[in-house]
Chain A
Amino acid sequence: GENVEQHPSTLSVQEGDSAVIKCTYSDSASNYFPWYKQELGKRPQLIIDIRSNVGEKKDQRIAVTLNKTAKHFSLHITETQPEDSAVYFCASPKAWAGSYQLTFGKGTKLSVIP
């Protein structure tokens, strides 16, 4: 099955509201959980990441929470703005052949309505 499952696939919020995107992973050895933002026609760019030794990390309006027991991590965006509209991807390393491969979720298209 999928190493990383991401929900929802689309999300529309009013400007100023909060948005939450959730990912679940299967490899219990995963220890690094990044979130990428991809604007239309551009490359994915890292916006926040968390390591398995902490449960939450914040950077201004963006936060990521990690629940290792349940194997899920979430992206929280508060006070959303139109420029937050983009596709967001979670990723998780999957142990493979003595190394790790970074596999991505299918993405969440966030639309912030002014």
Chain B
Amino acid sequence: EAGVAQSPRYKIIEKRQSVAFWCNPISGHATLYWYQQILGQGPKLLIQFQNNGVVDDSQLPKDRFSAERLKGVDSTLKIQPAKLEDSAVYLCASSLRAGVEAFFGQGTRLTVV
């Protein structure tokens, strides 16, 4: 079974630039999560999709972050403009349905300089 795919693996940008991350979940998984993991901390949920609808985006800084999941499969997360404090690993995860085992991608390590 193919796992959750994410790209790119690494990204370095200057502050105020924009960046986009891509995620392809496990086939058939209805729920998709984007987490932000700052070094030394646990994953923090940014947004959760159920198919192509948003279940929860209460912790997404909507002035600079946006995410979409067109057709209920792939998802993109965008940051515009980036700030230094956005430096983190952005993890995508998927599960068959909400509240059960989540499978993580390898993440995208973002460094904002």
Looking across the interface, which residue of chain B has its beta carbon closest to that of A45? B104
> In the complex, how many residue pairs between chain A and chain B have their CB atoms under 8 Å apart?
64
The residue that A102 contacts in the complex, of B102, B105, B106, with Cβ under 8 A, is: B102
Q: How large is the interface on A (under 10, 10 to 19, 20 to 34, 35 or more residues)?
A: 20 to 34
CB < 8 Å neighbour of B105 from A43, A101, A103: A43
Residue from A44, A102, A107 whose CB has the most chain B CB atoms within 10 Å? A102
Q: In chain B, what residue has the closest Cβ to A91?
A: B102
Q: Judge whether B91 is part of the interface by a CB distance below 8 angstroms.
A: yes
* Of B33, B91, B93, B104, most A-chain CB atoms within 10 Å: B104
Interface of A is mostly: strand
Interface centre among B35, B99, B105 (most CB of A within 10 A): B99
A105: B residues at CB distance < 8 A: 42
Assess the B55–A99 pair: CB atoms within 8 A: yes
Nearest CB in chain B: distance from A26 CB, A:
15
B-side interface residues, number (CB < 8 Å): 25
Chain B, 60-113, CB within 8 A of any chain A CB: 91, 93, 95, 98-107
**Distance between B54 CB and nearest chain A CB, rounded to angstroms:** 9
Judged by a CB distance under 8 angstroms, whether A25 is at the interface is: no
Check if B106 sits within 8 Å of A32, measured CB to CB: no
23 residue pairs bridging A and B, Cβ less than 8 Å apart: A31-B99, A32-B100, A34-B101, A43-B91, A43-B105, A45-B104, A46-B103, A89-B42, A89-B43, A91-B102, A97-B56, A99-B50, A99-B56, A99-B98, A101-B45, A101-B99, A102-B33, A102-B45, A102-B95, A102-B102, A104-B35, A104-B43, A107-B40
CB within 8 Å of B: which residues of A?
Answer: 6, 31-32, 34, 42-46, 49, 89, 91, 93, 96-97, 99-107
- Please give 8 more A-B residue pairs, beta carbons under 8 A apart, in addition to A89-B43, A99-B50, A107-B40: A32-B100, A91-B102, A97-B56, A99-B48, A99-B99, A102-B98, A104-B35, A106-B41
